[in-house]
Each structure stands twice: as C-alpha cells, then as structure tokens.
Amino acid sequence: MHQRSNLEIIAESLNGYVSRCLCCHEFNLAYKNVLLVFDEESLVRFFEWVLSNRQSLDNYQPLPHGRCRIFSSPHSNLFIVFNDEEMEELADLYAAVQIVLEARRLVNCQKNNS
C-alpha cells in the first residue's frame, strides 16, 4: 500500500470498504479498525475462509463486548474477532465485491474479443 495512492472503492458498507490501489493494484479491506492488504486471489481466499468458517464451533468463543467469532492469523499473537452482525456485514460486502469483479471481467473479456 502506498502513502499517496488513489484508491478505487469497489464496495462499501457502514463499517468498511474494499478498495483497489490504482498504482500497485493491491486490494484493501478496511473494516472498523483493521486494514488488510491483498492481491485479488488472496482477498477472495480470505473472504471465503472467514465466511465458510463463521458457524464453526472451532471459531466460536464468547468474548466481552459481544464478539464471539475468532480467526487466527499466521502470527501466533494476532487474532481477528467478529460478532454475528459483523459477519453478516462482511458477507454482504464480499457479495458486492464479487459482483463488481465479475462484471469487470465480463467487460474486459468483451473488449478483448472486439
């Protein structure tokens, strides 16, 4: 992520957004106080991992302030936590991202075939 990059917002919700850096083409997932940076494939894998495990008992542990879904990162001391409403918001955000990315692929495919 570059300091002075122009970000193209792809989808947004009340508490976050997914954008793409026009300079380096990385994707940014900003949600509440977390900013995660991915290439497109990693962004998709992240959303699919979180959303496919949102009902897993392995990821369930009630915490103070209502958060109960815990996801571990590759770092042993970093975890991302959500409540059920936040999980729904992430699912909606990902659905919007999928629509935009697929529409862009279709348009680019048509441009390349013309």
Q: Give yes or no for residue 1 having a pLDDT over 60.
A: no
Per-residue pLDDT at 74: 87
Q: What is the mean pLDDT of residues 47-51?
A: 96
Helix (H) or strand (E) holding 10: strand 7-12
Spatial distance between the Cα atoms of 49 and 58, rounded to a whole number of angstroms: 13
Q: For the chain, what is the mean pLDDT?
A: 92
Quote the pLDDT of residue 111: 75
Residue 91, phi-psi category: left (phi > 0), alpha (psi -120 to 50), beta (remainder): alpha
Give the model confidence (pLDDT) of 70-103 as tens digits: 999 889 999 999 999 999 999 999 999 999 999 9
Is this model's pTM higher than 0.75 or not?
Answer: yes
pLDDT > 90: what percent of the chain?
A: 82
For 7-113, the fitting CATH number among 1.10.246, 2.60.40, 2.30.31, 1.10.3470 is 2.30.31
Alpha carbon dihedral 51, 57, 60, 61, in 10-degree steps, equals -170
Separation of alpha carbons 16 and 63, rounded Å: 22
The pLDDT-based confidence of 5 (bands split at 50, 70, 90) is low
Contact 10, 97 (CB under 8 A): yes
CA distances for 33 relative to 18, 100, 106, angstroms:
14, 24, 33
Neighbouring CB atoms inside 10 A of 110's CB total 9
Q: What pLDDT is recorded for position 110?
A: 76
Q: Where are the domains of the chain?
A: 7-113
Query: What is the predicted pLDDT for the residue at 69?
Result: 96
